[in-house]
Amino acid sequence: MSPRRRVAIVFCLVACVSLAGCGEDVRTRGPVVASAATSSDAVDEVRIEARPRTTAAAARAAIVAAGGRVELEAGGRLQAVVPAAARQALHDSADLELIESELFVPLQLGTTFSTAAQSMGVDRWRAAGFTGHRVKVAIVDTGFEGYEQALGVALPRQVTVRSFRADGRIGGSDHGRRAAEVVASIAPNATLYLVNFSTVTELNAAVDYLVQERVDVVSFSLGYVHNGFGDGSGAVNDAVRRSTTAGEAWAVASGNWAQQHWSGPYFDGDNDGLHEFAPERRSNAHVFVQGDLITVSLRWDEPAGQACTDYDLELRGPDGALVRASRGMQSCRQDPLESIQVLATQSGVYTASITGPAGGGPGRRLDLLFVGAPDRGFPLEFAVPGGSLAAPADNGTVISVGALASSLRSEAGYSSRGPTADGRAKPEVLAPAAGPLGEVFSGTSASAPHVAGALALMQEAFPRAARDALTSVLMSRVQSVLVAPGDSGAFRADLGSLAGLGPLLPAGAETAALLGVRPPGPGLALMVYRGPAGYPLRFTHLLVDGRLVRTVYQFEPTTQEWRAYVTGAPSFVNSVEQIDNGAIVLLRFE
């Protein structure tokens, strides 16, 4: 086993096979056109992810020499299909290090609450004219099943779709589509990117694409278990940080694991080599339903690749029989990590136990996550909410989003929270935990796109605000909530006052119109404005079905001069900002 072995476990609705590759870019109602991807269904082939030990060229050569083929390179990682018989030889290769693959489950609970976006002030901002126009928002997820049927209904008429899976599929799960619908319900004129992946290598490729597309905001509703050490480290955080460094604002779900997490020092009071969660209680219990994917992960406070204390993990079923054990040997060259994933074969109470040095040994601080997919919200027998964050919510460059309780006045009990391993408070904000009314989509999976939608409105209002500035605007407007013992202390996300945002839509703006013939494509059009006085030209797109108007010209008969408004230009460039009823204007469409 490599000394740098790092197990990364991700959660979504169903377990997915790790796949890689890229699909075509799709901007119509039609199906995703996938690139030709080699199937890994054959019994004699497996898909691997690897990190070069020396150079990327040497790693590629080793894969080819073993009879494999490289599918994707991104973020310093390679993804390839290789003969199953060659896997062990590649594992022992001096040219590359194999990386454990990931499984996905969404940070979504099986219940729903009524929609509550109005609690964030969305209704005020929408009435004032802000819709997310010209703001690029990416929803990065595992699947967007059903998005085509939602186009022009719950989603914009056109979206940009990109699959980074090996098979090019954009479906497989509707989790991402539901998140996209939340964003669209708040910022209906935002330009949406639906981007999916299934491995960390593919996530890195997706990040490269988002940076290339100059996306403004990213919504991420997936959670990784113990990918890194709770301090913003790890492969997933490294990928996300490349995007935030490029100026993209990420709204990331904090996780739903506050009641499915335990942490504390290793204690063996009776010297039998079994950790005691409480006096004479040597296991921690969790209820699962037959068919649930059970994940148990144990991490402790030793440096990566230098764990000298050997802890093991055991999972027992409702009948008390051993289901599976993780007994990796820690001998000062491995990561401080043990993990188990298995399907529940029967419904009932499952228990996790930790073995370690008899009598306590060095007494390391342990961190245990014991979760299921789908997430039914069942709590652990012994739970510690603090430190229950999913990755990359522990990343210092993202906006981590927790869930509000159904009352919208306090933090939801299940919502994951910090502090991070290096002492930072997380999440930054709390948001409603439900999507559009009637949709079964809740938990922090729904909270994150609420904040992403709010960021899109703020980006429209402050078009030149970079990530740090946009985060500052959001955090300057947050509202206090009721705080109970053990809460994170995060504030409720709020768009805040409209004061100082420039000309806003006047009363009666819903009746306004521009009369005239528009060109089918780029070009000029002479039009007449009918509506209330003082209509801001920054919202001209609302009068032309969202089309981009680059410049509006108005002739001033008194001075015999043309005045102009240039979309996106600084205010000092424009000589006119508002028009009145009967105004004749010349529009240049793009």
Peptide bond into 31 cis (omega under 30): no
* Claim to verify: residue 210 and residue 127 sit in the same structural domain: yes
What is the pLDDT, as a whole number, of residue 214? Answer: 97
- Regarding beta strands 584-589 and 549-556, do their DSSP bridges make them parallel or antiparallel, or are they unpaired? antiparallel
The single-letter code of the amino acid at 468 is: D
SS3 371: strand
* Claim to verify: residue 556 and residue 457 sit in the same structural domain: no
Low-confidence ranges of the chain (pLDDT < 50): 1-9, 12-43, 103, 110-114, 436-438
The single-letter code of the amino acid at 501 is: L
Question: How many Cα neighbours within 13 Å face the side chain of 33?
Answer: 8
Cα–chain center distance at 133 = 22
Q: Look at residue 476 and tell me if it is in a domain.
A: yes
Q: Token digits for 453?
A: 């939608």
pTM of the entire predicted model? 0.87
* Claim to verify: residue 214 and residue 320 sit in the same structural domain: no
SS3 459: helix
The closest alpha carbon to 204, from 304, 79, 105, 98, belongs to 79
The closest alpha carbon to 140, from 435, 449, 432, belongs to 449
* Claim to verify: residue 231 and residue 300 sit in the same structural domain: no
Q: Token digits for 389?
A: 């964050």
What is the pLDDT, as a whole number, of residue 116? Answer: 54
What is the pLDDT, as a whole number, of residue 368? Answer: 98
What is the pLDDT, as a whole number, of residue 76? Answer: 92
109: left (phi over 0), alpha (psi -120 to 50) or beta: beta
* Claim to verify: residue 197 and residue 278 sit in the same structural domain: no
Domain limits for position 290? 270-368
What is the pLDDT, as a whole number, of residue 15? Answer: 31
Q: What is the CATH number of the domain that holds 53?
A: 3.30.70
Q: Look at residue 265 and tell me if it is in a domain.
A: no
* Claim to verify: residue 314 and residue 353 sit in the same structural domain: yes
d(CA 73, CA 233): 21
Q: Look at residue 111 and tell me if it is in a domain.
A: no
* Contact residues for 88 (Cβ-Cβ < 8 A; gap 6+): none
Q: Look at residue 549 and tell me if it is in a domain.
A: yes
d(CA 169, CA 280): 50
Question: Where a domain ends, among 321, 339, 368?
Answer: 368
What is the pLDDT, as a whole number, of residue 107? Answer: 66
